[in-house]
Amino acid sequence: MTVAFKTFGCRLNQAETAQFEDDFAAAGVRRVPLDTPADVIVVHSCAVTRKAEHEGVKLLRSLRAKWPHACIVLAGCAAASIPADARAALPADLLIPPSRKADLVPAVLARLRLPPAPTPAAPRPPQRATQRATLKIQDGCDFFCAYCIVPHTRGAPVSAPLETVLSEARALIDAGFQELVITGCNIACYDAGGSTLPQLLRALLRLPGLGRLRIGSIEPGTVERDIIRLMADSPKICRFLHLPVQSADDATLSRMRRRYTAADLRETLGLALGLMPRLALGADLICGFPGETEDAFLRTLAFVTKHPFSNLHVFPYSERPGTPAATFGGAIPEPERKRRAKRLIDQGRINRDTFARRFLQTPVECLVEHFDAHGLAHGWSSEYLPCAVSGLPRDRRRTLCTFTPDRLHNGTLTGPSR
């Protein structure tokens, strides 16, 4: 029997899809590409915007028309966000919301009248094709930002026990993964029996054989300063800090129901860059939020211009039914939202190239993910910059290497291995 996946949205969804694949593999179900016939098709959906939700539903209809006899599953946040009276019309055999993700494989096997899969006695070696392993440590969020549907689709924060996380990390390291990516819905909320995110990271750093840790997005106004200090003390933590700042205007942040001010952000970045001058910064930004004036937008643009953000995720505001912001007055016309988004994206490209050039003619560590037809090894630096390395044998895939980039080619650090 075979299964195919389509995953929308965040890294958390990607981590959960990897777990689904492992669970299906334990039941003897083999993964195949989405464009080939499959007995089971799982659409792992996103509902953070209305557009993302619609894309998942649109794919369901296309898959049902193409593969009428497959067992089609809608998993993820859209399975929870779509109104109950509309779910019956969906062309899916099963709907598995995040609260029931552990039931996905058993529900599919039951629908197909197959025996349940055995429960593994120990963590399984992962069945994933990726070269970086995602390590999910928690789910859920209770921050209730004005624009966000996630607390309603994923529920309150739930953290994996510390020893469970460590056991999975050991299995991933034993399977040959050199980079573990810490992920969750809101990892700053991690709290397992009093063990917080900084304590978990310290325990992971003590694991033998660990190559490096990459920390996912951390909400400002939480534990980010403790993480910054830990990052500065440990070379095994990737030098990349991603903060979903959303705006650098205090009035906008207040309407968004965020938990910090622009001054808080500046202080955090001052601490981070003071300790790690070559730290890479990432950010999520929403532009055109209801009531955002031109001056408010320009404050955010100035903030981005002043600080060395090398990785921006920019989103024109999109009304998400079911959230308070969808009822706010002061809507910004869509063309203006897109204009503001373009200005931020353009500035982000300038920042990225400027930041990347700082690494020319200096040693850079890269995780090798694949080789191209010309024999160049491609991967990512600790600072989340794309790299292309010459002179490596093809058996170096999934390993860490050091090289000295001598040029920046189409945004990629390129040079010979050491």
DSSP calls for 264-275: HHHHHHHHHHHH
- Assign 50 a pLDDT band (cuts: 50, 70, 90): confident
Q: Identify the band that residue 122 occupies on the pLDDT scale cut at 50, 70 and 90.
A: low
Helix, strand, coil shares of the chain, percent, nearest 5, are 40, 25, 40
Quick: pLDDT tens for 358-372: 999 999 999 999 999
Model pLDDT, residue 127: 42
| pLDDT tens sequence across 293-319 | 999 999 999 999 999 999 999 999 999
Paired tokens of 297: 């937008």
Residue 286: how many CA atoms within 13 Å on its side-chain side?
24
What is the mean pLDDT of the segment spanning 148-161? 96
Query: Mean pLDDT of all residues in the chain?
Result: 94
Q: Mean pLDDT throughout 393-397?
A: 93
Cβ-count burial of 119 within 10 angstroms (0-12 exposed, 13-18 middle, 19+ buried)?
A: exposed
Q: Using the predicted structure, report yes or no on whether residue 125 has a pLDDT greater than 80.
A: no
Query: What is the rounded distance in angstroms from the CA atom of residue 299 to the CA atom of residue 294?
Result: 9
User: 412-416 and 407-409 as β-strands: parallel, antiparallel, unpaired?
Assistant: antiparallel
Q: What is the mean pLDDT of residues 160-183?
A: 95
144 strand-pairing partners: none
Q: Is the pLDDT of residue 163 over 60?
A: yes
As a whole number of angstroms, the distance between CA 51 and CA 108 comes to 27
Residues 348-362 have a mean pLDDT of: 97
**Is pLDDT at 119 greater than 70 in this prediction?**
no
Instruction: Count Cβ atoms within 10 A of the Cβ of residue 169 and give its class: 0-12 exposed, 13-18 middle, 19 or more buried.
Output: buried
The CA–CA distances, whole Å, from 370 to 91, 176, 240, 397 equal 37, 15, 22, 6
Distance (Å, rounded) from C-alpha 337 to C-alpha 217? Answer: 24
Q: Which residue has the higher pLDDT, 166 or 116?
A: 166
| Mean pLDDT, range 228-242, rounded to an integer | 98
Give the residue with greater pLDDT, 249 vs 11.
249
- Segment 114-121 shows an average pLDDT of 73
pLDDT confidence band for 196 (50 / 70 / 90): very high
Q: What is the pTM of this model?
A: 0.89
Say whether 69 sits in a helix, a strand or coil: coil
